A and B are shown apart, each in its own frame.
Chain A
């Protein structure tokens, strides 16, 4: 089983009128403009839109990495940006798993050690082997990122993201560097995580990818301009 969740459906994340602006010397750029959104536990949300629309900003705001200028992000009814720095760190450590387009594996750590980096309880270490098996990484666990294919790197990054049983998986263009075959393998893994009760928020502009989601929102110029329930492949 990938992920370890039971209940589904209750409200998990509520984003209320979140705005985020960036400033350069010459102009102001609005990445998010009063975005509001609610996510249920176990939901699979795909965020699409053009480059620079604000998709990744939304993802990182939810992940506690970008402080919004206005609005609030409630996780289980608590605004994560009202919390102390250590509480926010704990939120990212325990509730969030990140998968990035660029994998961001530590180049000096083996596959096994990259995954161990995200473990903070003994039970996490105990499950590494089974995740490696499910993601076809067992034979590669002593290899370093430079010895892996892009698909293997992304599968390693995926295991690292979910090894600590986070509630939410935030994926930022996870298939952006993968060929169709590896994309499908990764999406199946993410989908399995979702089917086991995990909440997924995935940023992508690949329509073949977003079809896995329960709900798709489209962002343009920092605003949600469209929202639809997808025909999930479950």
Chain B
């Protein structure tokens, strides 16, 4: 008889113990998946919060007066291609996300009512991810070409979908569709308009130029500013680096703490479940001593007996791993909405984890049944079969 069929029939016959073993796998895999998913969400959330808080690193032209940099916002420019050079440099691994920005104070913008205001203009180059670091989703504030995003204080008569008109350095009027209006509380951005970099370069008549790079997601927790500064200046001696947010540190520490928590709780839950499974398998083997003795008497080799026990563990590990993946993803999605503000809608099943689940959990559960399986293979068939 096909061992698979034999194992399935045994699983269905000993439903309670099989279901308990299945539950241990589901608990272990769903806890692992949900914590991992929430940890990833927390990481993304942290980065987005850091983005909201003004990022953690600015890269700007050397010699820039930082008072001007923070207040006047009209500083010297440098080529936007610097971003791509940094993103593809093997020697620059201090940051992961790089966004080239052209940020200027525009002295006289005329609103639809004809009144003039001093506003901020931000041009965003599409975010670049450091090529030689682990791939991650972009965190940047990309603006589609031909559109703008308005700060909360900019003429409230202009609604999403309306045109935003601005007069360029060349005297021409440029019109862009308003994609959305940001909620208030975004600091400098409240009084600004965000463009696609190329659009703003056209308005200002400085093609290919930016005046800062915002850097996100430092990989080096200790001495990151020093590393980043040294690494950037080794590539571009005409650039400076400054760290701009201590909140970023607090957020990053929170993220690291979350990762440490996950690094403790996931192995703890998995090991506990494995121990329970091992005991359940031991109990299962004891209950099946005569069956195993009979298989031996019928000429089944110890390898085929090991195979039958391990196949059961594999099947339950696989089924539990798959169910646990979806349960864990659902749990992360459900609770993530309550926990996270920015990433709530983007908590989705992490598919690489699915492949991990269908490999790791069957293997772990086979390992947990390994000792009981060895004991089964050593059962004295003559003794068990002659017991009354």
* Residues of A in contact with B (beta carbons under 8 Å apart): 56-57, 60, 63, 65-66, 85-86, 89-94, 96, 98, 100-102, 104, 106-109, 113, 116-119, 172
Residues 281 to 308 of chain B near chain A (Cβ within 8 Å): 290-291, 293-294, 296-302
Question: Separation in Å of the B293 CB from the closest CB of chain A?
Answer: 7
A92-B299 contact, Cβ under 8 Å, with A104-B290, A108-B13? yes
Residues 1 to 57 of chain B near chain A (Cβ within 8 Å): 1, 6, 9-10, 12-14
Interface of B is mostly: helix
A117 to B301, CA, bound (A): 14
Q: Which residues of B contact A98 (CB under 8 A)?
A: 294, 297-298, 385
Question: Separation in Å of the A20 CB from the closest CB of chain B?
Answer: 10
Give me the 4 closest cross-chain CB pairs, A-B, nearest first: A93-B299, A108-B13, A92-B299, A60-B382
A100 to B291, CA, bound (A): 13
Does the CB pair A92–B1 fall under 8 Å?
A: no
Chain B residue, CB-CB nearest to A113:
B1
Interface of A is mostly: mixed
A36 to B385, CA, bound (A): 24
* Residues of B in contact with A (beta carbons under 8 Å apart): 1, 6, 9-10, 12-14, 290-291, 293-294, 296-302, 381-382, 385-388
Q: Which residues of B contact A117 (CB under 8 A)?
A: 1, 6, 298
Given A93-B300, A109-B6, 20 extra CB contacts under 8 A: A57-B382, A60-B382, A63-B297, A65-B296, A65-B385, A85-B302, A89-B301, A90-B299, A92-B297, A93-B298, A100-B386, A102-B290, A102-B387, A106-B294, A108-B12, A108-B14, A109-B9, A113-B1, A116-B1, A117-B1
A49 to B385, CA, bound (A): 19
A91 to B300, CA, bound (A): 10
Does the CB pair A89–B386 fall under 8 Å?
A: no
A94 to B291, CA, bound (A): 19
Partner of B13, one of A100, A107, A116: A107
A151 to B101, CA, bound (A): 89
Does the CB pair A101–B388 fall under 8 Å?
A: yes
Q: Which residues of A contact B381 (CB under 8 A)?
A: 60, 65
Q: Which residues of B contact A57 (CB under 8 A)?
A: 382
Q: Which residues of A contact B302 (CB under 8 A)?
A: 85
A113-B9 contact, Cβ under 8 Å, with A106-B291, A119-B1? yes
Does the CB pair A94–B299 fall under 8 Å?
A: yes
Question: Separation in Å of the A60 CB from the closest CB of chain B?
Answer: 4
